[in-house]
A and B are shown apart, each in its own frame.
Chain A
Amino acid sequence: MNKPWYLDRRTFLRGTGVTLSLPFLECMSVNASVAQRPKRFCAVYFPYGVSMSSKDENAKWRWFPEGEGANYQFNESLKPLDPLRDNLTVLGGLSHPNGRTIGGHDTADIWLTGAMLKGAQMTNTISLDQIAAEHIGNETRFRSITLSNTGGVGEVTRSSTLSYTRSGQPIPAINQPRLVYNRLFGVEKGSKEEQRSQLTNSRSMLDLVLDHSKSVRGKLGRRDQEKFDEYLASVRQIEERVERSEQWLDIPKPSVNAIGLHLDADDSTPEELMKTMYDLMFLAFQTDSTRFATYQLDNMNGATSIAGKFPQLLGFGKSSHSLAHGGNKPAGAEALGKWDQFRAKQFSYFLKRLRDTQEGEGNLLDHTIVMYGSSNSNTHNNKNYPTILAGGDKMGFKHGQYLRYNEDTPFANVHRTILNRLEVPVDAFADSNGELQEIVA
């Protein structure tokens, strides 16, 4: 294997707090070619849309800014992002054409895929982060990480994950900060030899299980076989992960300073939970443990969404769904706007952390594309997705604008633009018909 420069950097990280040793690391990475800096992508999603009251007295709580182009002003909802306006673009008017044909609450599944859900099982297609991870995710310990506040996959059209495999299978999201931390930075048990032999055993075991399972499959009825193929695909994928772990065995996981991380935060402490998830994504990027992350803040299923009550717990009065429904009422626009603002504040914290962390001659944010938004404008409306595209300044983005589009521009053009900036060699994505020229430098 041709070892890239950053592997050596990892070795230096052994036993030290990353935050402490950064100045030293900076010397190294400056010497390395700037052109080789990693390119990253991260997507953060929230459901049910935003405050967009048409009434003048509620104008200051509208999520979308006033004005257009470079001369726009944030309203209250996005004020926390003002210090970052040079690093981001607000996009309006976009939506997935396929999303416009399905129910108001059905669209979270396709935000990153643009798919037409097909067949009896309503199969999805591959998500943006996974395409990128497939092509250029090979250089990190983890191809990608998938997070959400509810966790798991949820159910079709009400999913609690943003990421889908090539075959359209949902990837379960992790909702416990401690599990994320353990995967990324936790110490593996046993000596290196023990770990190696366990990996070898895993490989043999999975081979044998796969063979055995094929014979089980043969005995099943047709419908059962279709369902059972999920299992076979999973075995194959984890075989690949085992191989990957073998390659990474000699490189210790980075050690990070866990002080200030609320690793045991859960649905009873939403503010800490979300902050910690953002922190973990930041640390994952900073340590180059992965370059692709998705994080779903809440899903559109009251029946399973444990995050629906977060605004209530945080003093915003109603559940996230009820806040969204109230958005057109006199006091509702403000209530929803304040919740929008709270989310923007947390998001701004994440962007700032990325921006304020040096990497090479720039900072982490200028090599990280962050997409933030929803697939509803207000509660049941599947058009005009509220969208913010941030970061990636040194990957060819031109920021600082508020751009409006009409329905001729499919939302997937954003995805395609992102893939192009990541230099992922694909010609198209979903139903995209071009790049968003206006945001490309």
Chain B
Amino acid sequence: MPRILVVENEANVRKLVRANLTASGYSVLLAADGEEGLKQARLQNADLILLDLMMPGMSGWDVLEALKARQDLQKIPVIIMTAAVKENQEDGKRANAMGAAGYLSKPFTIDELLRQVRQALKRDGDTGNAPQAHPDC
């Protein structure tokens, strides 16, 4: 059962994502801010991270940068969630450039959420077998 870490400061959004992902058969971990998210990512061996961009304190960008900077965490796929203006494509491009696996624009449909999650995990399964062959890493 893939483990998905949700990093989101809005409690209701966390609840929304958890309810749907749990119902779809994923194991869900929750973090209310960036620091907590980074800590969970290190400790819980997540398979996927859903990351909100606009958070007080450490922003989603900071978390993404920190994840990609760490050798043991950079392989975990990250899906960006943001409530930024849809017309503003810069965030999507930037997320892509920083190695994000997906980009969810709030408000998003549940189908879109599940599709992106499945896609990210599948891609990870294709390319992520190598690290699994070395459980020590």
- Tell me if chain B binds chain A: no
Residues of B bordering A, CB below 8 Å = none
